[in-house]
Structure 1
Amino acid sequence: MIKNWFKNIGPGPLVAAAFIGPGTVTVCTLAGVHFAYVLLWTMVLSIIATIVLQEMSARLGIISQKGLAEIIRTEITNPIFKAFAILLILSAIVVGNAAYEAGNISGGVLGLETVFGNPYVEIGTINFNPLSVIIGLFAFVLLYIGNYKILERVLVSLVILMSLAFLITAIITKPDVSEIFKGIVLPKFPKDSILVIIGLIGTTVVPYNLFLHASLVKEKWQHPEDLKFARKDTIIAVVLGGLVSMCIIISAASIQSEGISNAADLAKGLEPLFGNFAKYFLAIGLFAAGITSAITAPLAAAYVATGCLGWESNMKSKKFRAVWMIILLLGVVFSSLGIKSIEIIKFAQVTNGILLPLIAGFLIWVMNKQSVLGNNKNNVKQNIFGFIILGISIILSLATMHKVLGLNIF
């Protein structure tokens, strides 16, 4: 039974690996430190929304045997709207992932530094971190091999490692189970929690994952009969990813300190209370979260760029490799030199905030097209869930613009 389950694992764990990056770890840490278990319900909502959208994305990829970017290029016929959509997608995913990649690599580095210390090397007037290069080289080799099965196995292993690390950390803190249950089933909005709620949803329901899933799923499955495997794969992986996020919140809730602002601080804060073991497990989890996102972000950018521009979406093609190489190189340089491109990250946040409702809306529209999906188009129940999530994504988009640009929307 276990052997068959592993045989039928698809790109679901890669999707989970993509949304549990250092940003997610940081937001979940802040949620736990400042609000204990109260915002766990937000993760339940995020998990449901992610499953609904990722299932649509996977179904589209299997039935059409095309990526989401390719579908957008072919199905939008109005030239002005098509140009706007492609420009927005390229800006949000390609430029955005280049900005976030430094954070992904830095997250993996933080995990290593928690255990091994700070290995910065001075070259003239420049402080240089060799750990960023090591993580970058690991990601480079894995992506350059261009073999989906190898990529899948490595990322599944890292996701399992990350899941166990955060789960064990949460158990070590001996949480109050009744309070956890209340936090899951009773939605509450404590004072000053709205931005954290937005962050928890925004780091789980990720636009680039919709593109990544539709492109990767056709590497694994090619027939409508495989839809049942894809659905099971998606549900298990997203629920597992959501539980990892919950474990981080639960771990952080054990420390009520204003000095905790990221996962590295959380690791240090856990040490005096629960010993070295807690610190090491958390460091392993942070390292795995960083390195998995450092691999999936360039991969998603490459699929988006090649799909939007009509290039060959083959992991071994020169143009495909050129895109992820540029993203990875920028991430390594920015991370190793400690450069924080705040303005680029703000731009990426805004474009991703605008992109999510547009992509969710397009996805629901195309999922109702008989010409694209035949009998596998959305049913009434799927459309109801889809439109509810579309409404949430619009609110999230407005809130993101309010947060980043300071626009007086609310």
Structure 2
Amino acid sequence: MPRKGKLRRAIPFLGPAFLVSVGYIDPGNWATNIEGGSAFGYTLLWVLLLSNLMAILLQTTAAKLGVATGKSLSENCRQHFKKPVAVFLWITAELAAMATDLAEFLGAALGIYLLLGIPLFPAALIGAAVTFGILLLHKYGFRFIEQLILGFVIIVAAVYIVELFYAKPDLGQVGYHLVVPHLNSASILVAIGMLGATVMPHNIFLHSSVVKNRLKKNQPKHNHRVYKYAIVDSLLALNVAWFINSAMIVVAAAVFYKNGLKVTSIEDAYSTLTPLLGGFASLAFAIALLSAGLSSSVTGTMAGQYILEGFLNIKIPIWVRRLVTMIPALIIIGAGINTWKALVVSQVVLSMQLPFTIIPLIMFTRSKKIMGSYANKRWTNILLILVAAIIIILNGLLIYQTFGGEF
């Protein structure tokens, strides 16, 4: 078949991984990447490449579970675990989804605050209204939401292509540090933050759920194509997310590190870009942040919805879920609580939940009884266990360091 025909045939299958990919460019990633680039230049680019390879393995495995069983990870937990275990896993997953939603909602509010120059609380209310509007479009079909989110991802990627043009990075250094690991006692904590925060529980639940929208009953050939294209979809979407994250580090290194400026917050990065690169660069930065915040807020809400439906077989309108999960963020902003500390606490919640997501995923996908011919090969299981161990250990170190531990 000609390449053009193959591409046209693939397009209807693409989309689920792009929904997932926005979780890898959410505002939490922005802060870590900007801090890493401004403090250590290009030296941590290899960390993002390693993180991306781990993410691709776990997300394609989650998609495979959805295709092979016709059920999401949360539905498989309800089916294969005893009720007390399933309820416990649901509570942990629900807390993680709400913690993720908190970070992403704050990011959208921050983007509006930077663009419009209004106080953070009204910005948060505007962000809530826009997110409600996007979620209500769900009634026009799931494909419509996917295309909208893809549009947001394209905006963020386009902005960072422009930012790279303005920043004029050292391409030789970029290529070198992309493949040559470099780590010291000063940069290890930021590197752990990048690696440990790469895989978020809600992304695994989300991917195993949304891929089911492509399946057809009693059509194994079609469903096998869904799995094949899910791999292509993941490679495309997660590599776009990797490019964006890497571009954040490169821009921070070329602009802030080069000028001896250590930037540790998104607000500082925005205000510092104007004198160094001009007003257009900072405006583009704020637009990209808003796009990332809104899109990740929408997909975070959807993930929470799938978690509730899968574990408890309960359906509620998605706007009700959005209303409930935005209340903690509005309270934090309205009470004047430090948003950076709130983001740190949300990361700790995600870190603690991660084993309860990854371990069931490996248990199910290695089982021939559950997966049939889709069951993991031996080398896949070894890689998954290795990746899971690395991520869990790094998240444990993150928790240890967050509560004052030193190493």
Q: TM-score, normalised by structure 1?
A: 0.88
Q: Which residue of 2 aligns with 1:298?
A: 301
Call closer, same or farther: CA 1:148–1:162 in 2, change over 3 Å. same
Q: Which moved more, 1:238-247 or 1:346-355?
A: 346-355
Letter paired with 1:221: L
Equivalent in 178, 186, 194 of residue 184 of structure 1:
178
- Report if aligned partners of 2:195, 2:391 keep a CA contact under 8 Å in 1: no
Counterpart Cα distance in 2 of 1:373 and 1:352: 27
More helix by share: 2
Q: Give deviations 1:226-248, integer Å, cap 9, x for gaps.
A: 11111100111001101100000
Gaps of 5+ in 2: 217-222
Counterpart Cα distance in 2 of 1:5 and 1:355: 35
- Report if aligned partners of 2:106, 2:124 keep a CA contact under 8 Å in 1: no
Equivalent in 78, 83, 98 of residue 73 of structure 1:
78
1:11-410 matches, cutoff 5 A:
11-77=16-82, 79-94=83-98, 96-110=99-113, 113=114, 115-116=115-116, 118-120=117-119, 129-146=121-138, 147-222=141-216, 223-254=223-254, 255-256=256-257, 257-258=260-261, 260-312=263-315, 317-318=316-317, 320-332=318-330, 334-335=332-333, 338-340=336-338, 347-406=345-404
- Report if aligned partners of 2:108, 2:292 keep a CA contact under 8 Å in 1: no
Letter paired with 1:152: E
- Report if aligned partners of 2:22, 2:295 keep a CA contact under 8 Å in 1: yes
Call closer, same or farther: CA 1:133–1:58 in 2, change over 3 Å. same
Q: Which residue of 1 aligns with 2:220?
A: none
Call closer, same or farther: CA 1:98–1:271 in 2, change over 3 Å. closer
Give the C-alpha shift of residue 84 in structure 1: 3.2
Q: Which moved more, 1:50-59 or 1:345-354?
A: 345-354
CA RMSD of aligned residues (A): 2.3
Gaps of 5+ in 1: 121-127
Give the C-alpha shift of residue 193 in structure 1: 1.3
Letter paired with 1:237: A
Counterpart Cα distance in 2 of 1:153 and 1:340: 34
Call closer, same or farther: CA 1:346–1:259 in 2, change over 3 Å. closer
Q: Give deviations 1:144-192, integer Å, cap 9, x for gaps.
A: 2323112111100010011110122023211111111121111111332
Paired residue secondary structure (1:28): helix
- Report if aligned partners of 1:41, 1:184 keep a CA contact under 8 Å in 2: yes
Give the C-alpha shift of residue 338 in structure 1: 4.7
- Report if aligned partners of 1:97, 1:301 keep a CA contact under 8 Å in 2: no
Q: TM-score, normalised by structure 2?
A: 0.88
Counterpart Cα distance in 1 of 2:132 and 2:342: 23
Counterpart Cα distance in 1 of 2:211 and 2:193: 27
- Report if aligned partners of 1:20, 1:204 keep a CA contact under 8 Å in 2: no
Q: Which residue of 1 aligns with 2:219?
A: none
Paired residue secondary structure (2:212): helix
Counterpart Cα distance in 2 of 1:101 and 1:286: 10
Q: Give deviations 1:350-369, integer Å, cap 9, x for gaps.
A: 33212223322221111011
Equivalent pairs: percent with the same residue?
26
- Report if aligned partners of 1:140, 1:328 keep a CA contact under 8 Å in 2: no
- Report if aligned partners of 1:369, 1:377 keep a CA contact under 8 Å in 2: yes
Call closer, same or farther: CA 1:348–1:383 in 2, change over 3 Å. same
In the comparison of the two structures, how many residue pairs are matched?
391
Give the C-alpha shift of residue 12 in structure 1: 0.9
Counterpart Cα distance in 2 of 1:250 and 1:89: 34
Paired residue secondary structure (1:386): helix
Counterpart Cα distance in 2 of 1:107 and 1:305: 28
Call closer, same or farther: CA 1:295–1:332 in 2, change over 3 Å. farther
Give the C-alpha shift of residue 6 in structure 1: 4.0
- Report if aligned partners of 2:27, 2:104 keep a CA contact under 8 Å in 1: no
- Report if aligned partners of 2:46, 2:180 keep a CA contact under 8 Å in 1: yes
Counterpart Cα distance in 2 of 1:173 and 1:235: 27
Counterpart Cα distance in 1 of 2:178 and 2:262: 26
